[in-house]
């Protein structure tokens, strides 16, 4: 079998979730949308179910998969319903919904629900993607209350630049949020991972950590709390061929790497079809049998090449880590011009193996 695999450490996931609770002193919905950022939503939910106060996913399909697997904790749909008919499923499966648009309020008004629904009412405090305008927020809240079909209404908003600790936008969004809900009582939810990690002055009843649960930094610069996160995913594979090349010989597609010295090249079963970023250039770090190494040449679909010249003990069958505890996914993301969110979400085709240290 092809040796490419993603090891998922569920005890690290729990550690990171507990860190989110500790740092925020709030309740936390574990954000496990997009198949838990490529880590496997059902397995991650099961691992967290003893600790987590609830989960958040993007859409009802993801929530139904969790309910079918026996997850009973609250599940929030971060984009709410996509059409009015979904309210019947929301009702049947006891889901929480974000309400961000007027048509969703209309749908609740018209719906026949068995039980009142929990709504997270979103205000657009400056991201300008979804959410109600601050000036209409209170009126929408009253309209929802008047339906008699709503249990709790949590006030929520989403930050656009919380990963930039020196940017005033987060404080501006916070002020807009507070003004929009002035005089209304209910729980609040503000923080994603970067806000939770870098903005201790932002307080709310609920936080919504995503990327930090998987142990990766949302920041481009060093950040104090990030060192306390433990990477959950290790992406690794093995050397499947070795060759010795003289100087001036090229390696791989497009001859993007040309040997400067006698070079021992290791070919590894990992490529962009597994989600490894094709734009990772020569020099991108890897860890070869526990020692720092580098990629050379272009990443192809199923294979890539590493420099074994300074790794005399490595050879056929050596293990190469692409990210994990030795190579940080956020560093690879930066090197390849992307973010760790996309690095994780792109992982596919490799075998997933779960470990649970506790």
Phi, psi of 242 (to 5 degrees): -135, 140
Stretch that binds ligand PLP, among 81-89, 188-196, 251-259, 302-310 (CB under 6 A): 188-196
Task: Extract the tokens encoding 220.
Answer: 């481009």
CB of 63 to ligand PLP, least distance (A): 14
Helix axes 134-147, 102-110, angle to 10 degrees: 10
Task: Extract the tokens encoding 219.
Answer: 């920041």
DSSP-derived secondary structure letter, 258: E
Smaller CB separation from ligand PLP, 158 or 264 = 158
Whether 33 is catalytic: yes
CB of 21 to ligand PLP, least distance (A): 14
| 204/160 Cα distance (integer angstroms) | 17
Given the residues 33, 37, 122, 276, the one annotated as active site: 33
- Is there a binding annotation on residue 67? no
- Is there a binding annotation on residue 129? yes
Bridge partners (DSSP) listed for residue 246: none
- Yes or no: say if 137 and 123 are a contact pair by the CB < 8 Å rule: yes
Which H or E run contains 194?
helix 193-198
Binding mask 8-37 for ligand PLP (x = CB under 6 A): -----------------------x-x----
Q: Where are any strands of DSSP class E within 44-116?
A: 54-57, 75-77, 96-99
**Which of 32, 78, 117, 308 is the binder for ligand PLP (CB under 6 A)?**
78
Smaller CB separation from ligand PLP, 57 or 308 = 57
By CB under 6 A, the count of residues binding ligand PLP is 12
Among 58, 55, 82, residue whose Cα is nearest residue 69: 55
**Which of 40, 134, 209, 293 is the binder for ligand PLP (CB under 6 A)?**
209
Which H or E run contains 312?
none
218 lies in the site for ligand PLP, by CB under 6 A? yes
210 lies in the site for ligand PLP, by CB under 6 A? yes
202 lies in the site for ligand PLP, by CB under 6 A? no
Q: For the chain, what is the total number of helices (H) and then of strands (E)? A: 11, 18
231 lies in the site for ligand PLP, by CB under 6 A? no
| 53/51 Cα distance (integer angstroms) | 7
208 lies in the site for ligand PLP, by CB under 6 A? yes
39 lies in the site for ligand PLP, by CB under 6 A? no
CB of 207 to ligand PLP, least distance (A): 9
| 157/174 Cα distance (integer angstroms) | 9
Kindly list the catalytic residues.
33, 253
Q: Which residues are annotated as a binding site for substrate?
A: 129, 301
Q: Which residues bind ligand PLP (CB under 6 A)?
A: 31, 33, 78, 158, 192-194, 208-211, 218
């Amino acid at each position: 079998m092809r040796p490419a695999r993603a090891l998922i450490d569920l005890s690290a996931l729990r550690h990171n979730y507990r860190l989110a609770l500790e740092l925020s002193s709030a309740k936390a919905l574990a954000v496990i949308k997009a198949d838990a950022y490529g880590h496997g939503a059902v397995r991650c939910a099961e691992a967290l179910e003893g600790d987590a106060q609830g989960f958040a996913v993007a859409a009802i399909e993801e929530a139904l998969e969790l309910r079918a697997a026996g997850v009973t904790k609250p599940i929030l749909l971060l984009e709410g319903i996509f059409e009015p008919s979904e309210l019947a499923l929301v009702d049947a499966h006891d889901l929480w919904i974000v309400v961000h648009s007027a048509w969703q309020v209309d749908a609740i008004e018209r719906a026949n629900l068995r039980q009142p629904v929990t709504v997270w009412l979103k205000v657009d405090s400056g991201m300008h993607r979804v959410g109600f305008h601050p000036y209409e927020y209170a009126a929408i809240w009253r309209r929802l209350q008047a339906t008699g079909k709503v249990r709790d209404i949590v006030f929520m908003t989403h930050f656009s630049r919380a990963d930039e600790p020196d940017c005033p936008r987060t404080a501006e969004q916070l002020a807009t949020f507070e003004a929009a809900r002035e005089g209304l009582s209910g729980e609040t939810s503000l923080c994603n991972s970067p806000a939770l990690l870098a903005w201790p002055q932002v307080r709310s009843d609920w936080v919504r950590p995503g990327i930090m649960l998987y142990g990766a930094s949302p920041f481009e610069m060093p950040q104090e709390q990030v060192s306390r996160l433990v990477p959950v995913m290790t992406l690794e594979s093995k050397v499947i061929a070795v060759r010795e090349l003289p100087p001036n010989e090229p390696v791989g597609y497009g001859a993007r790497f040309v040997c400067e010295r006698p070079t021992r090249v290791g070919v590894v079963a990992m490529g962009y079809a597994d989600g490894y970023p094709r734009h990772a250039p020569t020099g991108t770090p890897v860890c070869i049998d526990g020692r720092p190494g580098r990629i050379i040449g272009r990443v192809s679909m199923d294979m890539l090449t590493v420099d074994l010249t300074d790794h005399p003990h490595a050879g056929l069958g050596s293990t190469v880590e692409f990210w994990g505890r030795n190579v940080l996914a956020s560093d690879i993301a930066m090197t390849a011009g992307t973010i760790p969110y996309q690095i994780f979400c792109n992982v596919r085709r490799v075998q997933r193996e779960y470990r649970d240290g506790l």
